[in-house]
Structures are given as structure tokens and as C-alpha cells.
Chain A
Amino acid sequence: MLHEFQVDPRLQEAPLKILIKGGRLIDPANGVDGPHDLLVDKGKIKQVSRPGQIAEPQLEGAKIIDATGLIVSPGFLDMHVHFREPGHEYKETIATGCLSAVAGGFTGVAVMPNTNPVNDNRSVTELILAQSKANGGTHVYPIPAISRGLKGEQLTDMAELAEAGAIGFSDDGRPVTSNELMRRALEYSRMFDLPVIQHSEVLDLTAGGCMNEGPISTELGLKGMPTEAEDIMVYRDIALLPKTGGRLHVAHISSAGAVDLVRQAKAKGLSVTCEVAPHHFILTDESVRGFDTNTKMSPPLRANRDVEAVKEGMKDGTIDIIATDHAPHAELDKQVEYSCAAFGIVGLETALPLSMEMVAEKIITLPSMIDMLTARPAKLFKLDKGNLAEGKDADITIFDPSAEYKIDITRFKSKSKNSPFDGRQVKGKIRYTIVKGKILFSEN
């Protein structure tokens, strides 16, 4: 290996016997919401019981976590992250990305293929899986490319990739522009029943753009990226669904038009799902004033009416899951002219408190927030996760819903600190992240 890995010593330890007691267990997959104790043994959920009901002999040698006042949830799943390995390890590695994930309560993440080399073949997919097994800690699920080299010309060897562990396909970072290729991708992927994940953007409408097009881009003199660029692509992809019969997953939905299109398509019974990134329901393009390059991402921060539409989509179920689009960039990629700065922000370690703002605003309930971070992504991507039934893997996130603090980017475990949320007063803090019975993150 050319670079050193940060190896978490806790990964070497055997799984613990753990009793989590006194907490409120919210397990949407099993319709559970209430006070329960949880016994973990040998990396599995051994027993779920009413408080105090787990028999004394069972508890011998167990580490006890007092979860009084805390929420006990299945481990969070983030189906959209960029870990930059291989190729851009100065921004993030699988090891640091996994540290960031568990710090944010995520026990499983899906990594996008825009690495160098691109994850468009079995060997890169296997490298990612091997690295995560050795140095990761959290579960890492590869999402290989739809097209070779992300060039949008020729399909990748999807069958081989599916066998190697792909959970979906995406050219994320770039859209699949070719109508023909997108049609073929939706058709071909049907054989494996895996979703095709689209970064929805019509490139000739956004060329040179660096923020949402609207009054603010006009005022700031920055080239805009109109919402139509997203709407048109979502419309086209949906139009391809009835005959191809594929599964379309719209990544990081951000425009009112796109939310509406997905809503209509779902009403028609088409196989389309979508995700939203926290920054798209928290911030508007107003944040770009001041030219902080940490407000630059793709899709860009949208206008207020789009943010309202996204929230409405979360409320009525049009939007299926929350995914962060964790996109680490080093200072040298961000400390430049706004128009030259890299797109994207880190998201793993701010996802919980930002999502909790939607709960506080009564857009979604706490159980449905957890559902969007656990059971629903597991279902969409056919993972046997996001479920705390007895016998399942002990992937558990424990958080304090009422802890208040200020986001501090210097405390991020991610290698990159590119977040516009530094200093934001928030509520909701991860206390424990347990992966297969190992406590990989704890903070009290």
C-alpha cells in the first residue's frame, strides 16, 4: 500500500456482550417504538425485552450501556457517500470515511464510483470491499459505475459487478446524458433487480454554473444552474421506466419540479424512488451570499420554494430516504475562487442533528426520520440491515435527541472539514455506534 491506514484497534477486538437498558427503542422495520432493553451477544441481537425483563444469568460478563433518555435505533445507513479511495486519499480514505460514518451514527454506507481508477470493474469493487473489511469498521457497499470510466458510452460489466457485491449502479457526479445508454442501463440492470441511481442534471443547461439560478445568482454575478436541468433529466428517466421496467433511484433530489415528477410517477405505480441530502432541506441559496465555497454543491442549494417542496415530499413519502452525499474535499480544492471550487460537502457527521430539525419542525416524526435512515434504505437496496429483531446483526445507533451543542468542524473525524454548518446550534447527538456487536464510537 502506498499510504498508511489508520487502523482502529477496536476492530481487532472480539464482539462484546452488551446490555442496552432503559432506552426508547425505535425499530420501524418491526413496528417497535417504546421502552425496551436489548441484549447483544456474539455480534447479534440476542434478546429484545420489556425493561428489566432480561434474566440475570444472561447478563453475566455483559457491558452495560445505560440508555436512559436516549433513543436506541437500528444503525443508520447512508446510501450515498464518496470515500475517495482509490485515487484521492488526500481528501478521504475508506478508513477515515468509516470513522466519520460511525461518528455520525452510520453503520453502513454505499460508496459512489467516482474514484481514480473509477469503480467500473470487479477489481476496484473488490479492493474497496477488502479495504473496508481490513480498515473500515462500518459496512461499506460499493455502487459501481453504470458506464465504463463514467464516460456515458458503454455499460459496465454489471453481472460481474453484481456478483462482486454491487448494490446498485450509478455514474454519480455525472449524469447519464445519453438517452440510449440510460434506457439500456435500466433494461440490463433488471436481470439483477438492482437500482440505477441517477445524478439528474442536463449538463448543457448548467455548463459553467456554480449555484442555483435565481435572484441570488443574479445578485452575486455567479453563473446559475437552473432547476430545469434537474427536472428535465428526472422527466426523461421516468419516461424510460414503463417499457424498460428498471428501477430508478433519483439521487439527492433538490428541485420542486423533480419532487413533483417523482410523486406523479409513484402515483402511476412506476418503480422510482429518491433520496434527499440534509443540506437540501436545511439551506437555501441565500447561504451563498458571502461566497463561502462550502455552500457550493451539485445539485446546488436551491430557492426557498424548492426547499419547501422537498420538505413536502418528505412529509408525504414521495422522498424515500435521507442520504448525505458526503463529499469530502481538501482545503486546496475549496480555498479558491467560488467558480473554481469543488462541488460538495461532508455530511456524515451532521446528518442526525440536521434531520432532527425536520422532526422539530414537524415535517416528519422521529420514527419516520429513523425509518428514512434505516429500514427504508435497507429495503430499497435489499440489505439485511436496518432491523433489530432477534437474530439480526447487532448494528445499533444510540443517540440523545435532546443534547444541544454547536457543530464544530475541527472535531470531525472525516479527513475533510468542508461543511457550511460549522458553528450551527443543533440538537441531537450520537452517543454510541455499534457495528456487529463492537462499539466503534462512543461519546458521553
Chain B
Amino acid sequence: MPFPHKDLLGIGQLSKDDILTILDATESFKEISTRPIKKVPTLRGRTIVNLFFEPSTRTRTSFEIAGKRLSADVINVTGSTSSVTKGESLLDTAYNLEAMNPDILVVRHSASGVPHMLAQKINCSVINAGDGAHEHPTQALLDLATIREHKENFDGLKVAIVGDITHSRVARSNILAMKTLGMTVTVVGPPTLIPVGMESLGVRVSHNLEEAIADADVIMMLRIQEERHNQTSFPSLREYSILFGLTAEKLKKAKEDVIILHPGPVNRGVEISPDVIESGHCLILNQVNNGVAVRMTLMYLLLGGADENPN
């Protein structure tokens, strides 16, 4: 299985074949989590360091479970316990961790580009677990794995991504992946949350939720991160919710077999109403489940192919 990458820094580096290779293998890895003994010896003796500069329970846990199910030793280094707060530079921290010979460094950071910088400086494989507003490739891959469980083909699927596009790495990674797989993407939100030049990524821009979801096969609701906004992005959460919150009422305009994704954690009643979450269209827990399998797949592929196929 040729997977010619040392690191997974972003969807931008992956070809269509790479993405499909990952998704195919993910289906096999899903089975492991259904076994009585949810563990295979594949990465026995390997070390995976989760280096999280940003708090994140679910992504970190997902990587941790994925590594452990492959029998790797998983160590968590978080922003609060690491040396970062002691004035040590990012690179010092990375060099120190590298001196302990990990095989994979999983990195989450609030600044775009940090995984790229680390990958250039250190030898082990780097997986981007979310960098600033740039990319979150494993999230996009688990979203695709979830879509694949419910739709025949990627090609021609219509997707509406709704919310704060400006600050969303989930949106960016998904757009890149979905365009690569031949899907049609519309981003939806107020103009203040849609960054300049969005059309150059090959997506349609809409400011009207009902209109945008009318023919969608997939609706992806993004989390509104209140802490990320200065007061000029939108007037109030209330007005945002009225215009762009997904409710059962608005969902009536959508296709019967539409599926709804959300990267979590959900602000119930803000971007998505409780009745929609319970509606059966909503696949949030499937996403979480697929997240473990996708991350197992990547660990397996990166370590298996690394020596012979340096980036």
C-alpha cells in the first residue's frame, strides 16, 4: 500500500488516491474496536506523544485510544503541564521531546503552521491534530468516513458547511478533501465570518441557510466559538442563532436523507437545536467512533511506510 508521506500536516498534501487509501483502511480498523479485546499488537514498542498546546478533550482522547488500540505507548503532554508556560520556546519543547525518541508526534496548536515547522525540524512523523485556523486533517477524514457510511459515492455530493468559516480549520480541511473527491461545497454564514477570497478555494458562498441546505446531501454545522470573536463579527449570539442555527423547522426544507455532521462540542440551541440533534439525521456519535479508526489508520500508515518513502 503506497502511502508516500512521513507526516500528515494537512489534507492539502494528499491526493485523491491517498484519501481513498486511508478511508479503505479505516473500514478495517473500525472492526478492531468491536472486538472483545480491542487491541492489536501492530505498534508494540512504539511511542506516540500527544503534544497539545490547546485544550481538547475529545481529539486528544481519540488519538490516545487509537494509539493504545495499536499497542503503542502513548504519552500526553499538554500546554498546561509542559514547559511552554515556563518560557521555553516551541522548538526547545519539540527538541526535548524528540530526544526521547518518539515515533509519532501528534500536535495541536492555536497558531497556524506549527506542525509544519516542527516537521521540518524533527525526524519523527508529525500528525497535525489541528493548527490555528489552518487545517484539522484527521477531522476531515473522519467526516468523510462518516459520509461514506451513508452515501453511495462522494462524487457529486452537495455539502453545506455552516458557521464561522473564518476561524474554522475543520472547514478548510473538509473543503480541500471534498473538492478533491468531486463534491460540491457551499459555505454558509454571515459575510463577517466568511474570509476574503473563499471562492478561490472552489466553493460557493451563501448567506442564507434555508436556501443553502435545500439541495444538500450533507450539512456540516460548525461550532460558534464565542471566545474567538471580537464584537464586530456579529451582533449577538441570539441574532446568529436566528439566522444560522439549524432547527427542525428549517430542516424541513432539506432532503429527506440529508445527514448532519458537527465536529463537536455542540452549543445546543445556538448553532443546532436539540430536536435536530435527536432527529436521526445527526451523526455526531458516528463521527466520534470513526475518529478512532481514522487515527489508527494514519498511525499505521505513517509508521509502516515512513522509512522507505520519506516525504
Contacts and interface: CB of A to CB of B under 8 A. Distances in A.
Contacts of A220: 112-113, 134
A216 B113 CA distance: 13
A217 B196 contact: yes
A224 interface: yes
A284 to B, nearest CB: 13
A58 interface: no
A218 B200 contact: yes
B196 A221 contact: no
Name the residue in A217, A291, A332 with the highest tally of chain B Cβ atoms < 10 Å from its Cβ. Answer: A291
A214 B196 contact: yes
A291 B113 contact: yes
Interface stretch (A138-146, A333-341, A410-418): A333-341
B198 A339 contact: no
A419 B41 CA distance: 47
B38 to A, nearest CB: 35
Contacts, number: 67
Contact of B112 (A332, A335, A338): A338
Contacts of A290: 116
Contacts of B90: 336-337
Contacts of A223: 133
Contacts of B196: 213-215, 217-218, 224, 226
A217 B132 CA distance: 12
Interface string B23-61: 000000000000000000000000000000000000000
A215 B201 contact: yes
A219 B112 contact: no
Interface in B188-229: 195-198, 200-201
A206 to B, nearest CB: 14
A222 interface: yes
Contacts of A336: 89-91
A287 B195 CA distance: 20
Given A214-B197, A215-B196, A337-B90, A291 B172 contact: no
B169 interface: yes
B113 A337 contact: yes
A102 to B, nearest CB: 33
B199 to A, nearest CB: 8
B6 interface: no
Interface string A216-248: 111111111010000000000000000000000
B75 interface: no
Contacts of A221: 112, 131-135, 169, 172
B109 interface: yes
B113 A222 contact: yes
Chain A: interface size category? 20 to 34
B117 A291 contact: yes
A335 B131 CA distance: 17
A219 B132 contact: no
B248 interface: no
Interface string A335-361: 111111000000000000000000000
Contacts of A216: 197
A418 to B, nearest CB: 15
B116 A222 contact: no
Given A335-B89, A339-B132, A218 B117 contact: no
B223 to A, nearest CB: 16
Best-buried of A214, A215, A224 by chain B (most CB within 10 Å): A215
A214 B109 CA distance: 23
Nearest to B114: A337
Contacts of B91: 335-336
Contact of A219 (B109, B111, B131, B201): B201
A221 B200 CA distance: 14
Given A291-B112, A337-B114, A332 B89 contact: yes
A27 to B, nearest CB: 46
B106 to A, nearest CB: 17
A324 to B, nearest CB: 26
A215 B194 CA distance: 11
Contact of B172 (A213, A219, A226, A335): A219
Contacts of B197: 214-218
A301 to B, nearest CB: 15
Contacts of B198: 215, 218
Contact of A338 (B111, B169, B172, B200): B111
A338 B110 CA distance: 11
Contacts of B113: 220, 222, 291, 337-338
A218 B132 contact: no
Contact of A337 (B117, B133, B200, B201): B117
Contacts of B111: 337-340
A2 B23 CA distance: 62
B195 A218 contact: yes
Nearest to A219: B201
Nearest to A293: B117
Interface in B162-194: 169, 172
Which one of B90, B112, B113, B135 has the highest number of Cβ atoms from chain A below 10 Å of its Cβ? B113
Nearest to A332: B89
Interface string A173-184: 000000000000
A217 B195 contact: yes
B11 to A, nearest CB: 11
B135 to A, nearest CB: 7
User: Which one of B169, B196, B198 has the highest number of Cβ atoms from chain A below 10 Å of its Cβ?
Assistant: B196
A290 B109 CA distance: 16
Contacts of A340: 111
A336 B134 CA distance: 16
Interface string B120-131: 000000000001
A291 B200 contact: no
A224 B131 CA distance: 16
- Among A213, A220, A221, A224, the one with the most B-chain Cβ atoms within 10 Å of its Cβ is A221
A337 B91 CA distance: 9
Nearest to B89: A336
Give the top 5 A-B pairs by smallest Cβ distance, nearest first.
A215-B197, A291-B113, A221-B133, A221-B134, A337-B111
Interface of B: 89-91, 109, 111-114, 116-117, 131-135, 169, 172, 195-198, 200-201
Given A222-B112, A222-B132, A336-B90, 18 more contacts: A214-B196, A215-B197, A217-B195, A217-B196, A217-B197, A218-B200, A220-B113, A220-B134, A221-B131, A221-B135, A221-B172, A222-B133, A226-B196, A291-B116, A291-B117, A335-B89, A335-B91, A335-B117
6 contacts: A217-B196, A218-B195, A221-B131, A224-B196, A335-B89, A339-B132
